[in-house]
């Protein structure tokens, strides 16, 4: 995380508490040319968003194990940081069951890696 | 006697049971007819006896006087045909007393007239007695039938009330306006009603709230129109305990074919409803887990095969990692997908590596949540794979000690994987998926220290018992 590179890579925050999925998501983000920022859980993610105002793209798993509804966290992030773009994924919901925050994009698990990467690139490009 | 026995058993006082002369006379009258010889012989004997009494007592005066009661008694006791015979014999006997051998027509005309009147009136009496006999027999038969019906009705009632009270359903009879007029014993029990008088006459739908009450009213309206309906609802018992009921409401048809009352049968489906809910929940949970697992499989595939290299070797490694994932699921499915015992996970994952008892496992009971189970399975699989390639499992004498302790006060868990008897451990230059999984530790949040010593690899994994249970 946070290595200095000649070309500034836009950061993408990965909020995923399933270790294997997080590891793979971080790799995906990195391979796509972004700076992967890793959050193990929601509290950690909020802390990172507070201290890293440069984070504009969030990739988040809505399947939260400890009684927190991921979609509520996503809505709170949207309210608190309106410019942030969100890519959401879940195994426990279908797209029609969710009221997504504005501009958020949802991919049900298992996700398609190229779709995720394309969406991240589009979001990062729109922001610039 | 037979008639007497036929109506016996009901125990009610009636004529057949009356003692004394009237009772005995009645028994005599309704008794079964005797055989022809007895009947006609009896009649002849009775007439003969009367004739002798006549001769002794009255000689030739009032010759018909004694015969009439004799004929009546014969008819009563022996039947109408015996009565007719007795009448004829009596007429002959009486006539014999006044016969005049010198008369041209044996008797004086007045005696002929008296004889004819005697025969006619006595035959009339025989007819009357016969009618009386028949009427009495019919009355006895009717009473016997009535008593039999009453016994059957009592038996049927006892049977029905036995069935009703044996049922654990709440069986209610409602009037057309919906008020309660009967509730079965089992119903009072399941509805937690101590005394039916507390609820008698109360409108049944008022025992329910909102939707259930509306459903009950609808069902009553349907029943009044002759239709049976069914609904399921949460209804509180009389003491306020919430239960789930399956309720059937049907019309009870009266004698005239119209709906007279309404039957409502409620069955306690609380445990069924809970099981259904549980199954639905589990179903949703499994669907979720399946999709999540596919995501994990996809991630493992990327990590194992997405880096180029030898496809054969990559596919083999992928298959082994999937097997580790499958063993995590095996252990989890035994714990309703919510928890797994640490020792079970360890034994399951290491079973394929520990072919010669080279792993010594020791540690207290410790519960793991689903994510920790998955992390630990993959982690142990990577450690064992490493040991097979480069560590203690790569040489014949190598051993592994795997133990864990829980600090009673803090709940801190420390797990140690120590390879001994193999080649010296060397830190790898390249960090692949395996070493990343190991470094992510028991909960995926780190807490791993690795020591590469000459004696072999030692890995310490730290976490809290709470984290492991909740993860």
Tokens of A98: 């969710």
- Identify the pLDDT of residue B16: 46
| pLDDT average, residue stretch B200-221 | 92
- What is the residue whose two structure tokens read 């399951």? B348
Q: Give the model confidence (pLDDT) of B25-79 as tens digits.
A: 788 778 777 888 888 999 999 989 988 888 888 777 777 878 888 898 889 888 8
3-state helix, strand, coil in chain A (%, to 5): 40, 20, 40
How high is the pLDDT of residue B158?
Answer: 92
pLDDT-based confidence at B395, cuts 50/70/90?
A: very high
Which residues have a Cβ under 8 Å from the Cβ of A83 and sit 6 or more positions away? A56, A127
Tell me, what's the pLDDT at A127?
Answer: 57
* Residues B312-350: tens digit of each pLDDT: 999 999 999 999 999 999 998 887 777 899 999 999 999
State whether B299 and A21 contact (CB < 8 Å): yes
Q: On the CB side of B379, how many CA atoms lie within 13 Å of its CA?
A: 29
Q: Give SS3 for B370.
A: helix
Q: Which of residues 41-100 of A touch B (CB under 8 A)?
A: 63, 65-66, 89, 91-92
Interface test with A, best of B286, B297, B299 (most A CBs within 10 A): B299
Pick from B406, B412, B387, B386: nearest CA to B398: B387
Low-confidence ranges of chain A (pLDDT < 50): 1
Q: Which residue has the higher pLDDT, B225 or B444?
A: B225
Q: Does B374 touch chain A (CB under 8 A)?
A: yes
What is the structure's pLDDT at B34?
82
Distance from the Cα of residue B228 to its chain's centroid: 21
Chain B residues whose CB is inside 8 A of the A69 CB are: none
Q: What are phi and psi of B227, to 5 degrees?
A: -105, 145
Give the A:B interface size as CB pairs under 8 Å.
Answer: 77
Instruction: Report the residue from B291, B302, B471 with minimal CB separation from A109.
Output: B291
d(CA B153, CA B205) in angstroms, rounded, equals 33
Minimal C-alpha gap between A27 and chain B (Å): 9
User: How large is the ipTM?
Assistant: 0.87
What is the distance in angstroms between the Cα of A94 and the nearest Cα belonging to chain B?
10
Band (B3; pLDDT cuts 50, 70, 90): very low
The pLDDT, as a whole number, for residue B1 is 39
CB B123 within 8 A of CB B87: yes
Cβ distance of B302 and A24 shorter than 8 Å: yes
Looking at residues B199-221, what average pLDDT do you find? 92
Greater pLDDT, B233 or B20: B233
Lowest mean pLDDT among B96-110, B325-339, B389-403, B428-442: B96-110
pLDDT bracket for residue B470 (50, 70, 90): confident
Which tokens belong to B82? 């015996």
Q: Which residues of B are less than 8 Å from A89 in CB distance?
A: 295
Q: What is the DSSP letter of B167?
A: -
Q: What is the pLDDT of chain B when averaged over all its residues? A: 88
Q: In this predicted model, what pLDDT tens digit does every residue of B181-204 receive, in sequence order?
A: 999 988 998 999 999 999 999 999
Residue-wise pLDDT for B119-153, tens only, equals 999 999 999 999 998 999 999 999 999 999 999 99
Chain A positions touching B433 (Cβ under 8 A) are: 23
B contact test, residue of A19, A21, A94, A97 with most B CBs within 10 A: A19
| Element spanning B28, H or E | helix B20-30
A112 interface with B at CB cutoff 8 Å: no
Contact A104, A76 (CB under 8 A): no
CB-CB neighbors (< 8 A) of A92 in chain B: 284, 288, 291-292
CB B402 within 8 A of CB B416: yes
B395, B421 contact by CB (below 8 A): yes
Q: List strands edge to edge, sheet with A57-61.
A: A35-39, A11-15, A57-61, A85-90, A105-108
Q: Which of residues 424-453 of B touch A (CB under 8 A)?
A: 433, 436-437, 440, 443-445
Interface touch A65/B297, C-beta < 8 Å:
no
Angle between helices A19-31 and B370-389 (to 10 degrees): 70
Minimal C-alpha gap between A40 and chain B (Å): 7
């Amino acid at each position: 995380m946070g290595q200095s590179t000649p070309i500034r890579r836009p950061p993408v925050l990965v909020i995923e508490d399933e270790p294997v999925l997080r590891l793979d998501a971080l790799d995906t983000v990195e391979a796509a040319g972004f700076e992967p920022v890793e959050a193990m859980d929601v509290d950690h993610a909020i802390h990172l968003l507070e201290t890293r105002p440069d984070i504009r793209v969030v990739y988040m798993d809505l399947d939260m194990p400890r009684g927190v509804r991921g979609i509520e966290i996503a809505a709170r992030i949207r309210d608190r940081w309106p410019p942030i773009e969100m890519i959401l994924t879940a195994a426990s919901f279908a797209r029609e069951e969710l009221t997504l925050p504005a501009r958020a994009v949802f991919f049900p698990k298992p996700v398609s890696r190229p779709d995720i990467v394309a969406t991240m690139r589009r979001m990062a490009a729109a922001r610039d | 006697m037979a008639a007497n026995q036929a109506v016996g058993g009901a125990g009610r006082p009636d004529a057949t049971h009356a003692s004394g002369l009237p009772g005995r006379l009645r028994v005599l009258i309704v008794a079964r007819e005797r055989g022809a010889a007895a009947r006609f012989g009896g009649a002849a004997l009775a007439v003969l006896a009367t004739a002798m009494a006549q001769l002794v007592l009255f000689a030739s005066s009032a010759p018909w006087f004694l015969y009439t009661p004799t004929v009546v008694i014969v008819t009563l006791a022996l039947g109408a045909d015996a009565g007719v015979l007795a009448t004829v014999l009596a007429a002959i006997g009486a006539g014999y007393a006044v016969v005049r051998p010198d008369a041209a027509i044996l008797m004086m005309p007045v005696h002929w007239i008296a004889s004819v009147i005697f025969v006619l009136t006595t035959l009339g009496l025989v007819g009357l007695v016969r009618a009386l006999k028949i009427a009495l027999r019919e009355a006895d038969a009717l009473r016997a039938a009535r008593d039999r019906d009453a016994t059957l009705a009592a038996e049927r009632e006892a049977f029905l009330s036995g069935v009703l009270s044996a049922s654990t359903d709440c069986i209610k009879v409602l009037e057309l306006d919906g008020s309660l007029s009967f509730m079965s014993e089992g119903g009072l029990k399941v509805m937690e009603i101590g005394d039916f008088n507390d609820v008698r006459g109360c409108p049944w739908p008022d025992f329910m709230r909102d939707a259930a009450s509306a459903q009950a009213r609808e069902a009553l309206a349907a029943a009044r129109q002759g239709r049976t309906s069914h609904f399921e609802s949460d209804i509180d018992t009389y003491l306020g305990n919430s239960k789930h009921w399956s309720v059937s409401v049907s019309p009870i048809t009266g004698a005239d074919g119209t709906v007279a009352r309404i039957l409502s049968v409620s069955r306690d489906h609380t445990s069924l409803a809970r099981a259904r809910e549980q199954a639905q929940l589990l179903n949703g949970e499994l669907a979720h887990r399946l999709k999540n697992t596919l995501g994990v499989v996809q991630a493992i595939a990327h990590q194992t095969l997405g880096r180029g290299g030898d496809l054969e070797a990559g596919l083999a490694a992928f298959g082994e990692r999937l097997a580790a994932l499958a063993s995590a699921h095996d252990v989890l499915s035994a714990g309703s997908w919510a928890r797994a015992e640490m020792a079970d996970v360890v034994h399951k994952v290491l079973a394929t590596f520990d072919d010669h008892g080279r792993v010594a496992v020791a540690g207290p009971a410790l519960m793991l949540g689903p994510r920790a189970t998955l992390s630990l399975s993959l982690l142990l699989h990577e450690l064992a794979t490493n040991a097979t390639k480069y560590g203690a499992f790569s040489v014949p004498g190598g051993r592994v000690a795997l133990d864990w302790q829980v600090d009673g006060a803090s709940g801190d868990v420390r797990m140690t994987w120590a390879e001994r008897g193999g080649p010296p451990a060397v830190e790898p230059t390249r960090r692949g998926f395996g070493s990343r999984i190991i470094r992510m530790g028991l909960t995926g949040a780190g807490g791993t220290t690795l020591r590469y010593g000459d004696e072999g690899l030692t890995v310490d994994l730290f976490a809290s018992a709470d984290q492991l249970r909740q993860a």
